Chains A and B, each alone.
Chain A
Amino acid sequence: MEYIFTTTRGLTSPPQDHGLVAVIDGQLIKVTPFMAANIPPPMALHEISVPSNALDVVFNDDASIAVLHQDGISVFEYKSPSASGPPPAPKGQIAFEETKSRQNFYQAVVFAPNNEVLVLQRSLSGSIISRYGLNEDSSIIEEMPISSDSVITTLSSFIEDGVAKPFTQNVSGDLCSLLPGSQSVSYGKLTSNLPWVEIASHGDSPIAFGLSASGHLYAGSRVLVKNCTSFLVTPAHLIFTTTNNLIKFVHVTDVNSMSIYFSLINTILTLRRLRSSTGRPRNG
């Protein structure tokens, strides 16, 4: 089993781009909306606590937070993140049954449409995805065991047209939708299993971006660069950092015609401001 550093972020698309970041610290989740308050680690604007050690935390498009911990799932709502506004408020709890085998371990949680959350679990026989409802009784709706020959490594989601679309990645790099009724919908296949994956909705078909542990950044099965250290996707760009401290911006077009433009900023020494570049179109 491999461990990676990952960042739990809120949406990067306006108007919900509050710059939300959540950090796990044992039974505390540290939440900061960077648009409103630039608070450096290890501090945070708000700290919310959960009953046991947290395993995963995610944001929904309305800034609500789901925390997966050893004993269950805690959900918080966070209305209008601001510097002086109220902290995230507890909205519901789901407690895992005591009878669950201790050999199963929980890995990830995501928000799903219709007020539900999905949880990824690893058991001896493979991966299990469970659906939980966030209404009054907060009980398990359905447990969907996935066939054991495709162990799931990633459970995540992206927003398309305002709807949360959960998906999974298995050991071979296949990306599958988890919406009810569309389990066979594929979001493509990455060349191999990639630890960091993000799907961006673009036009007709969503594009999957992934980063390997060796620094290869993929769009679908196409390698974009080989020295990438991190990346994120906004509505206009794919932004990534490289091993020689450059930040690069790529216009998100369809996979086959993405071109790369440079923005040379040395991130360690000084920030040089580019004075004269503009976006003037050609005349005629």
Chain B
Amino acid sequence: MPTSASLILQMPRGNLETIFPRAMVIAGIRKLIEEKNYKKAFTNCRTQRVDMNILYDHAPEQFLSNVPLFIDQVKKISYIDLFLSSLRYVNQLPMNSII
């Protein structure tokens, strides 16, 4: 289910397991960023322990021209602080990850 980034598996015994695969989570966050839904993208980054740099890195120009929107959506100061403190400058991406 892409909306919740979850995948349900059935084990050989018949019981169900729900997982949140990284691939689906990242794909979901990218989509939310493209829709400019920074609030939901940020929330997903928090709950799924995804590096928040993706909020900028996935669409740098869009982020820079929508900083007021980002702040309006995220609202809570502690969340904004969390985002700012996680920002990192990396010269070159260590791994090519289109997941």
Contact = CB atoms under 8 A, between A and B. Distances in A.
Contacts of B29: 279
B99 interface: yes
What interface size band does chain A fall in? 35 or more
Given A241-B9, A278-B97, A263 B23 contact: yes
Nearest to B49: A275
B14 to A, nearest CB: 6
A203 B71 CA distance: 35
B54 A40 contact: no
A41 B26 contact: no
Contact of A237 (B27, B50, B54, B91): B27
Interface in B1-29: 1-4, 6-11, 14-19, 21-24, 26-27, 29
A268 interface: yes
Contact of A40 (B3, B16, B19, B50): B16
B2 A19 contact: no
A34 B3 contact: no
B65 interface: no
Contact of A249 (B24, B53, B95): B24
B23 A17 contact: no
Interface string A242-284: 0000010101000000000101010110010111111111110
6 contacts: A34-B18, A236-B24, A251-B98, A267-B17, A279-B30, A281-B57
Interface of B: 1-4, 6-11, 14-19, 21-24, 26-27, 29-31, 49-51, 53-54, 57-58, 90-93, 95-99
Interface of A: 12-15, 17-19, 34-35, 38, 40-41, 234-237, 239, 241, 247, 249, 251, 261, 263, 265, 267-268, 271, 273-283
